[in-house]
Amino acid sequence: MERDLDSTLDSVDRAEGLALDVAERAGFGEEDLMKIGMAVRESVVNAVVHGNRYNRNKKVQFRVERSGGRLTVRIADEGEGFDFGNLPDPVAPENLMRGSGRGIFLIRSFMDEVQLRHLDPGGIEIILVKYAT
């Protein structure tokens, strides 16, 4: 299933609903559904807010697919991108009280595989993978 989503926070709910529908039909349990939902929500928020910066002319590309016991979600923005190697450690003492900066950390803790890649001519794609247990 593939969709182009608007760069609005309404797209967060839409993406989560689409991913959970596919995951539920694939047989994922309640705990995994919660983890998938949270990872998708955080990824789409990042794409809308940090990637596309709410720009109405930019879209968030969303794709979810299942294959056997594997769910793969791809979320891409059309923003300027960022340096993956320069993410602050969210559990470092100096960052514990920050109001943001934990998204990628949480996404990685909820999913079995997470890949980030730069797109040409611009943007970031995050690929989320969850295996049925």
- Note the Cα 55 to chain centre separation in Å: 18
Listed by start position, the domains of the chain span 2-131
Instruction: Return the pLDDT at 94.
Output: 62
What pLDDT, on a 0 to 100 scale, did the predictor assign at position 105?
85
Radius of gyration of the chain measured on its C-alpha atoms: 14
Multiple choice CATH, 2-131, 3.30.565.10, 3.40.220.10, 3.40.50.720, 1.10.10.60 = 3.30.565.10
Say which DSSP state 8 is in: S
Residues with Cβ within 8 Å of residue 111, at least 6 apart in sequence: 35, 36, 39, 128, 129, 130
Q: What pLDDT does residue 6 have?
A: 98
- Walking along the chain (133 residues) 10 residues at a time, the average pLDDT comes out as 97 98 96 98 96 97 95 97 67 56 84 96 96 89
| pLDDT the model gives residue 84 | 67
Q: For residue 30, which amino acid is it? A: E
Predicted confidence at residue 87, as pLDDT, reads: 62
